Amino acid sequence: MNSQLKIFFLLIIVGFTYAKDTYTISGTVQNEKGENLKKGSVVLVSKTDGSEIKKTKINRKGEFKLKKITPGKYQINADAEGKGSLPVDIVDNDIKDLVVIIKNSDDKKIDTSENIAVIASEKTETVQALDTPLKTEKTGDLLPQVRAFDQVDKLQFEDQFFEYESNLRVLKNQIDSLKSIVTAFEKKQTMPNISRELLDLIKVPEFQHRIELKNGTVVLGDILSETGSSLVLKTQIGELVLEKEMIIRRDKHEEPAPKVVFLGDPFINIYPDRHEFSGRIKNIGQRRADFVRVLSSLYTQTTKAAGKDSVFVKGTRIIYDSGVIADTALDPGQTATYNFPVKIEGRRKVQYHTMDINWNETR
């Protein structure tokens, strides 16, 4: 059993040692204008004895590929709308991106010394050229030829220069993992449930006065004492002594709140068994008044109660957080009418009445 394992490992080592003793030559065949030629053949010839080593056809993109070539010195002969050749040496790397230039078919002589091979290997990039001098007929031929912009080779969609499928899979896995982390984080950030009773325990200071100073500072507090030149103000941070000459305005501070008032005196229809009241009210406050109700009480000459009743006014329809739906709210500046009777109790003689307005503030 041990001898079999040794032979197995020896075969693996030998396989890695001689894993690659042949190489690949690939490139394109172009005319003098830099255009890829799509029809023709490419032959690899040994420089040593001139024998043909490998032959292949040019594909529709003007590319060719020669596989399983052993190290040595070779020459590439291309036949496509003309002829062209290119020397190439293989040492220990694949040779890629060769460009074989084809002369026009009208030219009888092919000068291979004008072909330049640009060999891009995995380690280094070298430029090979023949030692023969460049032959030119005119001085203008010494200038480099600039390829027209519309003739520049463009990368086709199917010819990506990187492996994107595996990268997309890794990126998708990372995004899915990030989504799960964000979802777990959001679940932990939910707002705590605070009951109404707990909010009522939080005491918010209510100050009675708003004092504006000459420097633009506004102070809220309660006046504890006052002299001819100063006053002592109780604020949220403690007692504060202010000189009166620094005060430019002093008002009674009121928090924004609803305030519903009667618009004029009510109109009363008096009957033997009842009094009917009608009129208008208005919310002159800065917040909405909810469940607005008008109340009326009847009294005798000796201040005994002779009757009492009330009515909710018809205003804005509101859906409250508790699920209650009502149309008895008045927005700031909104008016409403009321009309309701108050029944007289026990044949009592009514001498006067009182009117009142009740409302709630629901935020």
> If you ran DSSP here, which 8-state letter would residue 36 be given?
B
Confidence of residue 219 (pLDDT cuts 50, 70, 90): confident
Query: Across-strand partners of 311?
Result: 294
Whole-angstrom CA distances from 355 to 85, 214, 260, 276, 349 are 115, 44, 13, 12, 18
Q: Is residue 42 part of a domain?
A: yes
* CA 103 – CA 62 distance, rounded (Å): 15
Residues 6+ apart with CB under 8 A from 262: 279, 280, 281, 355, 357
pLDDT digits 0-9 by tens, 143-155: 666 655 555 566 5
Asked whether residue 193 carries a pLDDT value surpassing 80, the answer given is no
Please give the average per-residue pLDDT across 180-202, as a whole number: 69
| Residues 26 and 127 occupy one common structural domain | yes
* CA 294 – CA 310 distance, rounded (Å): 5
CATH of the domain at 221: 2.30.30.100
* CA 264 – CA 260 distance, rounded (Å): 13
| Residues 245 and 271 occupy one common structural domain | no
Asked whether residue 358 carries a pLDDT value surpassing 50, the answer given is yes
Q: Is residue 148 part of a domain?
A: no
| Residues 35 and 129 occupy one common structural domain | yes
| Residues 50 and 69 occupy one common structural domain | yes
Please give the average per-residue pLDDT across 160-167, as a whole number: 57
Contact 71/77 with Cβ under 8 angstroms?
no
| Residues 215 and 292 occupy one common structural domain | no
| Residues 233 and 286 occupy one common structural domain | no
Residues 6+ apart with CB under 8 A from 149: none
User: Of the ranges 36-45, 162-171, 333-342, which one carries the lowest mean pLDDT score?
Assistant: 162-171
Please give the average per-residue pLDDT across 296-323, as a whole number: 90
What percent of the chain lies above the pLDDT cut of 90?
20
* CA 129 – CA 99 distance, rounded (Å): 12
Q: Is residue 180 part of a domain?
A: no
Q: What letter represents residue 162's amino acid?
A: F
Specify the pLDDT at position 146: 60
Q: Between residues 272 and 19, which one has the greater pLDDT?
A: 272
Secondary element (H or E) of residue 8? helix 2-17
- pLDDT, the chain, mean: 78
Asked whether residue 267 carries a pLDDT value surpassing 90, the answer given is yes
Asked whether residue 17 carries a pLDDT value surpassing 60, the answer given is no
Residue in the structure block whose two tokens are 């009418």: 337
Q: Which domain holds residue 106?
A: 17-133
| Residues 223 and 292 occupy one common structural domain | no
Q: Between residues 299 and 111, which one has the greater pLDDT?
A: 299
pLDDT digits 0-9 by tens, 112-146: 444 444 333 343 344 444 444 545 555 555 566 66
CATH of the domain at 117: 2.60.40.10
Q: Is residue 121 part of a domain?
A: yes
| Residues 317 and 266 occupy one common structural domain | yes
Domain closes at, from 82, 101, 133: 133
| Residues 82 and 99 occupy one common structural domain | yes
| Residues 289 and 267 occupy one common structural domain | yes
Specify the pLDDT at position 20: 59
pLDDT digits 0-9 by tens, 180-190: 777 777 666 66
Q: Is residue 324 part of a domain?
A: yes
Residue in the structure block whose two tokens are 């024998």: 51
Contact 87/101 with Cβ under 8 angstroms?
no
Please give the average per-residue pLDDT across 51-75, as a whole number: 88
Residue in the structure block whose two tokens are 């006014």: 313
Specify the pLDDT at position 166: 57
| Residues 43 and 128 occupy one common structural domain | yes
Count: domains in the chain: 3
Please give the average per-residue pLDDT across 77-97, as a whole number: 85
Q: Is residue 139 part of a domain?
A: no
| Residues 52 and 85 occupy one common structural domain | yes
Q: Is residue 8 part of a domain?
A: no
Specify the pLDDT at position 89: 87
